[in-house]
């Protein structure tokens, strides 16, 4: 029996370092941390003063002497030091103490991560206190979390669309048969809405407000729209001429913004051997990640891809659920090198 098995206090963690949200599960204890991937610094003393939800509240607020950082961009680490400080804090929060022995960590990386991106993620986790780090392609982790069986040869399509990235994977026997990562996600939709509202209505809004519009009023066809938004709600000032005018054109804007995602999936499908494509067409393709909740997105993709597309239940949890499941079966992972590889 390997020596490490005899050390009961060496803990095992699953960590999904998302662009918007970090999740940490501890083996045998379950999900213990779900926090926005945000950290705030005191600019004068350059010390971290808030993490997660508390730091997120300071975003867009322009509090003086406070610098708010989102360490990930487009699904990859953009500010290494901020990522390390935040992850160290969240790991301590999950364990309730500073770990005695560096825990083994399983994490999700971009499905087509470059070596530099992969190194940045592994090094950040190690600098934050992790020991051994095992990486799983994000599309695979999301597929496991969405309940796609890993022991069947028939190909399934999974698209994980988070805040910073979209991971596309064709999964067969626990492996990625074909896949891609786009550095495009919900953050880019927010940015598109922010620019559109500025351009068409001359109303300056922040990204947090743009995200509210996407979630509350956004839809990919006008008949699915949630709340109708009025320009006065955006300005917080009814007296400046726009009165009760409605915010319009968001559905068209979102449809146009999502075209590159459908085009990339089609590109991958077109590259598959006919037999694999036939298998995908027979069954539901699954959408995971926060953007799966955008009203009308499954209908849009079904139409553009000519496939049956469904949203996974609890789509924002799929990646961490998948990592948790793999963590609970780490022996299978290490014994069968063919599984959970790219």
Ligand X SMILES: Nc1ncnc2c1ncn2[C@@H]1O[C@H](COP(=O)(O)OP(=O)(O)OP(=O)(O)O)[C@@H](O)[C@H]1O
Is residue 322 at the binding interface for ligand X, with CB under 6 A as the rule? Answer: no
| Residue number with CB closer to ligand X (194 or 214) | 214
As measured in angstroms, the least distance from the Cβ of 141 to Mg ion is 9
Residue 185 engages ligand X in binding (rule: CB under 6 A):
yes
Residues 193, 285, 106, 19, Cα dihedral to 10°: 0
Of 86, 163, 168, 247, the residue at the interface with ligand X (CB under 6 A) is 163
How many Å apart are CA 307 and CA 136, to the nearest integer? 26
In our burial notation (b when 16+ CB lie closer than 10 A, e otherwise), range 171-199 reads bbebbbbbbbbbbbbbbbbbebbbebbee
Instruction: Name the residue among 35, 85, 27 with its Cα closest to residue 55.
Output: 35
> How many C-beta atoms surround the C-beta of residue 342 within 10 A?
15
Given the complex with ligand X, which of 314 and 336 has the nearer CB atom?
Answer: 314
Residue 289 lies near ligand X (rule: CB under 6 A): yes
- The helix (H) or strand (E) run that includes residue 69 is strand 66-69
Binding site partner of 187, from Mg ion, ligand X, none, Cβ cut-off 5-8 A by kind? ligand X
Candidate list 13, 14, 15, 20; residue touching ligand X; CB under 6 A: 20
Q: Does 294 bind ligand X (CB under 6 A)?
A: yes
The span from the CA of 106 to the CA of 46, in Å, is 31
- Supply the angle between the helices 318-327 and 138-145 in degrees, to the nearest 10: 90
Binding to ligand X by residue 52, rule CB under 6 A? no
Comparing CA positions, the residue from 89, 91, 49 lying closest to residue 69 is 49
Tokens of 294: 């955008």
Q: Which is nearer to ligand X, 279 or 315 (CB)?
A: 315
For ligand X, which is the closer residue by CB, 52 or 164?
164
* Residue that is written with structure tokens 């495009």 in the block: 184
Which of Mg ion, ligand X, none does residue 250 bind to, with CB < 5 to 8 Å depending on kind?
none
Rounded Cα gap, residues 166 and 158, in angstroms = 10
Rank residues 109 and 279 by Cβ distance to Mg ion and give the closer one.
Answer: 109
Tell me how far apart the alpha carbons of residues 192 and 101 are, in angstroms, rounded to a whole number: 45
Q: Does position 293 bind ligand X by CB under 6 A?
A: yes
311 binds ligand X (CB under 6 A): no
Among 84, 286, 316, 321, binds ligand X (CB under 6 A): 316
Q: Which of 278, 316, 236 is nearest to 37 (CA)?
A: 316
Among 145, 186, 296, 322, binds ligand X (CB under 6 A): 186
Minimum distance from residue 85 beta carbon to ligand X (Å): 18
Asked whether 300 and 220 are in contact (CB, 8 A), the reply is yes
Query: Where does this chain bind Mg ion (CB under 5 A)?
Result: 18, 162, 319
Residue 276 or 319 with smaller CB distance to Mg ion: 319
- What are the Cα distances from residue 29, in Å, to 14, 95, 101? 11, 10, 18
- Interacting residue with ligand X among 35, 109, 117, 187 (CB under 6 A): 187
Closest of 91, 77, 86 to residue 14, by C-alpha:
91
Residues contacting ligand X: total by CB under 6 A = 21
Sketch the per residue contact string, 196 through 225, with ligand X: x for CB under 6 A, - otherwise: ---------------x--xx----------
Q: Which partner in ligand X, Mg ion, none is near 21 (CB below 5 to 8 A by kind)?
A: ligand X
* Contact status: 165 vs ligand X (CB under 6 A): yes
Structure tokens at 47: 């010390």
Closest to ligand X by CB, 187 or 279: 187
Point out which residues bind ligand X (CB under 6 A).
18-21, 75, 162-165, 185-187, 211, 214-215, 289-291, 293-294, 316
């Amino acid at each position: 029996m390997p020596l490490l098995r005899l050390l009961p206090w060496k803990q095992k963690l699953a960590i999904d370092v998302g662009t918007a949200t970090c999740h940490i599960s501890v083996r045998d204890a379950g999900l213990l941390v779900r926090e926005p991937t945000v950290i705030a610094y005191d600019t004068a003393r350059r010390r971290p003063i808030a993490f997660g939800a508390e730091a997120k509240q300071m975003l867009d607020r322009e509090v003086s002497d406070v610098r708010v950082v989102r360490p990930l961009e487009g699904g990859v680490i953009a500010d290494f030091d901020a990522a390390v400080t935040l992850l160290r804090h969240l790991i301590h929060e999950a364990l309730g103490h500073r770990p005695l022995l560096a825990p083994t960590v399983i994490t999700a990386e971009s499905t087509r991560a470059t070596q530099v991106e992969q190194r940045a993620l592994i090094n950040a986790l190690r600098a934050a206190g992790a020991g051994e780090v095992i990486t799983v392609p994000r599309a695979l982790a999301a597929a496991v979390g969405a309940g796609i069986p890993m022991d069947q040869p028939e190909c399934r399509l999974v698209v994980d669309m988070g805040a910073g990235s979209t991971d596309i994977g064709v999964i067969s026997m626990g492996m990625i048969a074909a896949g891609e990562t786009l550095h495009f996600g919900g953050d880019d939709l927010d940015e598109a809405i922010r620019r559109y509202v500025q351009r068409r209505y001359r109303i300056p809004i922040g990204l947090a407000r743009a995200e509210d519009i996407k979630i509350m009023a956004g839809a990919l066809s006008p008949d699915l729209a949630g709340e109708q938004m009025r320009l006065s709600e955006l300005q917080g000032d009814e007296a400046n001429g726009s009165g009760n005018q409605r915010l319009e054109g968001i559905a068209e804007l979102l449809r146009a913004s999502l075209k590159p995602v459908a085009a990339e999936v089609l590109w991958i499908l077109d590259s598959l051997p006919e037999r694999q494509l036939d298998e995908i067409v027979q069954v539901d393709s699954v959408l995971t990640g926060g953007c799966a909740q955008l009203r009308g997105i499954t209908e849009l993709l079904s139409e553009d891809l000519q496939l049956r597309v469904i949203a996974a239940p609890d789509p924002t949890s799929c990646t961490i659920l998948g990592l948790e499941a793999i963590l609970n079966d780490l022996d299978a992972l290490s014994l069968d090198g063919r599984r959970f590889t790219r």
